[in-house]
Chains A and B, each alone.
Chain A
Amino acid sequence: DGGITQSPKYLFRKEGQNVTLSCEQNLNHDAMYWYRQDPGQGLRLIYYSQIVNDFQKGDIAEGYSVSREKKESFPLTVTSAQKNPTAFYLCASSIGSGLYTFGSGTRLTVV
C-alpha cells in the first residue's frame, strides 16, 4: 500500500544534539512538507519542497534544516539552534497543490 512512513515514532534528544527525523513516501508525490504541532497551536509549517533538490522555508524554519535528494525522501534535522524542540512532528506529501497525505508523526522530547 502507498503511504508515508515517519521514523522513529519516539525520539529523545539531549541538549546541544542534532537529530534527524525520517520521512519516506511511495506515493510518487512531488511535494513534501514538515509541520510542527504543539498543544493549542495547530500545525505550523517548517519547510516544504515542491521538487527534488529544491525546498523553501515555512513559517518556523529557524533551528531546522532539510534536504530533498530523492523524490521519496524528505528528512528533517532539528539542530542545536532550535531552543524548544519538544513537539510532535508531522510529515506530509501531495501532488502539487491539493490533497495532503500525512505520516503518523514523530514525537521528539528533549531530555
Chain B
Amino acid sequence: AQSVTQPDIHITVSEGASLELRCNYSYGATPYLFWYVQSPGQGLQLLLKYFSGDTLVQGIKGFEAEFKRSQSSFNLRKPSVHWSDAAEYFCAVQGTGFQKLVFGTGTRLLVSP
C-alpha cells in the first residue's frame, strides 16, 4: 500500500523568501502525486499534480514541484512567498487504476513579515 511522509510539521518563512516543502512517498511503481493547500476551516484546493512526463510540474499561485524517482520525493517549491500563502499543505499519492488517495500529515506554513 502506498504511504506519504511529510517530515516537517511546521515551517516558518519570511515574506519574499523561497520555500521548499518536503514530501516522500512509498509505492512500488510510479504513482500519481498531488499537492493540496488548505486554509483554516476550509476544504482542500489542488495546487498541482504529477501523472507522467516532465518531472518538473507547474501549478497555481506560482508553485512548482519536482518528481525525483530515485529519492521517492515530490517536493513543493515557491521562489518568493507571500503572506497569503500561509496555510496547511498536504502531499498525496495515488496508485494507478482506481485506488484511494493517501495523504501525508500536512505541513503548516507560517509567513513572517
Contact = CB atoms under 8 A, between A and B. Distances in A.
Interface string A70-110: 00000000000000000010101000111110111101000
Dominant secondary structure of chain B at its interface with chain A: loop
A40 B42 contact: no
Contacts of A100: 44, 46, 101
A105 B98 contact: no
B99 interface: yes
Interface residues of A, number: 26
Contacts of A53: none
A50 interface: yes
Given A40-B9, A41-B105, A42-B105, A97 B43 contact: no
Interface string B80-113: 0000000000100010111111111110000000
B104 A42 contact: yes
B100 A45 contact: yes
Contact of B103 (A4, A42, A103): A42
A92 B100 CA distance: 12
A60 interface: no
A64 interface: no
B63 interface: no
Interface in B16-73: 32, 36, 41-46, 49
B70 to A, nearest CB: 25
A90 B43 contact: yes
Interface of B: 9, 32, 36, 41-46, 49, 90, 94, 96-106
6 contacts: A58-B100, A90-B44, A96-B98, A97-B96, A98-B32, A99-B49
The 9 tightest CB contacts between A and B, nearest first, are A102-B43, A42-B105, A43-B103, A102-B44, A42-B103, A104-B43, A97-B98, A103-B43, A42-B106
Given A42-B105, A97-B94, 19 more contacts: A6-B43, A31-B98, A33-B100, A33-B101, A40-B105, A41-B105, A42-B104, A50-B98, A58-B100, A88-B41, A90-B44, A92-B44, A96-B98, A97-B32, A97-B97, A97-B99, A102-B43, A102-B44, A105-B41
